[in-house]
Amino acid sequence: MRERTVSIVAALWPIWLRKSFLTPSISRAFSDQILKSPALSSLDITDSWSSTRKKSDHSSTQESQNNWTAKILDGNAIAKGIRSRIASEVSRMNELTARVPGLAVILVGQRRDSETYVRNKISASEEVGINFKMTALPENCTEYEVCNALSRFNEDPSIHGIIVQLPLPQHLDEAKILNVISLEKDVDGFHPLNIGNLAMQGMEPLFIPCTPKGCIELLLQSGVEIMGKKAVVIGRSNIVGLPISLLLQRHHATVSVVHAFTKDPEKIARESDILVAAAGVPNLVRGSWLKPGAVVIDVGTNPVEDPRSEHGYRLVGDVCFEEATRLASAVTPVPGGVGPMTVAMLLCNTLESAKRAFKFTSNE
């Protein structure tokens, strides 16, 4: 027996704590929905081209004279509100069906950052009343052992979402392992069928990947309009850059994807109203990359050594935060921006999955 399985039946939040998150204005605005993000297929509009198109006004040239003081997009606060609404929904589900959603995580090895992320997911699940199960496997485990653990969660009716904490050790085939996860429980949304349905107009993926979904929700809840805006996504990874570019396009942004082979990424970035940095390179995006007044979403979470920090390292983003605050109209901090939104979306996807499994609707 090489693995240890930890099963945590999370406690529901006390009522007073849940209530305290819902200020009157928020509860009015979102009383009947957890997220602002609409169903993707509801966004589909036939592209109707006009041959006499207006050129965009060049107000940005005037804006470049100004110095902005960016609004900090507080992912912690927005995620807290979402978790509160999830907790409320889980509690109602429990009252009406005597069941709660279940989330399972496979953790391989002992990477410090992975352990931190999993700890955050456990504690967030506990808070909202989602059951949490974890299978921890040693660094040198085999592909068979990982797939075996996944299969057990696939068959477990108390589990509605399964995630494999990435990255996996090099000797394991990530694509092959992720492919074992049942489509109905792929709450990370990394299956190619989910990505295809995310890309195609008229289609609806079972799950939208958590980080991209969190970025869009952050924009929507902050009142940032996406339709018709120029957006640049820096980085094209399968789990962040690619799906966020597809999702922004479904929201009718004009999207450019910049990667390591792009000749002048700075110029493309500087022309964009919305910049999403997901390259995994600390401080790649300097002030000179930003259009004055742009909205900046920093997905980077890069550990850099810091002897003064409690754990010997601290997290920095892909964006030079200090410079961004002087040029952007809004920017996410690292940590405290996209990170908590990602966790909230994981809970949200797990709840959605359980609702599908229980045929439980919001109107019950």
Binding footprint of its own copies on the chain (CB under 8 A): 47-51, 53-56, 175, 191-197, 199-203, 227-228, 230, 235-238, 242, 246, 249, 252, 254-268, 279-281, 283-284
Catalytic residue among 188, 273, 298, 318: 188
Residue 361 phi/psi, 5-degree rounding, is -110, 165
* 307: preceding bond cis by omega (within 30 degrees): no
Do 346 and 103 contact (CB within 8 A), yes or no?
A: yes
Nearer Cβ to its own copies, position 16 or 49?
49
> Is 165 labeled as catalytic in the residue annotation?
yes
3-state secondary structure of 297: strand
- HEC states along 243-295? HHHHHHHHCCCEEEEECCCCCCHHHHHHCCCEEEECCCCCCCECHHHCCCCCE
Nearer Cβ to its own copies, position 134 or 210?
210
Residue 285 phi/psi, 5-degree rounding, is -90, 105
Least distance from its own copies to the Cβ atom of residue 49, Å: 5
Nearer Cβ to its own copies, position 10 or 279?
279
Do 191 and 205 contact (CB within 8 A), yes or no?
A: no
Least distance from its own copies to the Cβ atom of residue 204, Å: 10
Nearer Cβ to its own copies, position 196 or 312?
196
Nearer Cβ to its own copies, position 185 or 251?
251
Q: Which positions ≥6 away from 240 have C-beta within 8 Å? A: 209, 211, 212, 278, 299
Rounded distance, CA 78 to CA 218, Å? Answer: 7
Nearer Cβ to its own copies, position 28 or 54?
54
**Residue 112, token pair as written in the block:** 């410090």
Least distance from its own copies to the Cβ atom of residue 304, Å: 14
Catalytic residue among 133, 165, 221, 355: 165
Identity at 265, one-letter amino acid code? P
Least distance from its own copies to the Cβ atom of residue 122, Å: 29
Where residue 150 falls (left for φ over 0; alpha for ψ -120 to 50; beta otherwise) is: alpha
Catalytic residue among 121, 133, 213, 291: 121
Least distance from its own copies to the Cβ atom of residue 322, Å: 17
Least distance from its own copies to the Cβ atom of residue 240, Å: 12
- Catalytically active residues, by annotation: 121, 165, 188
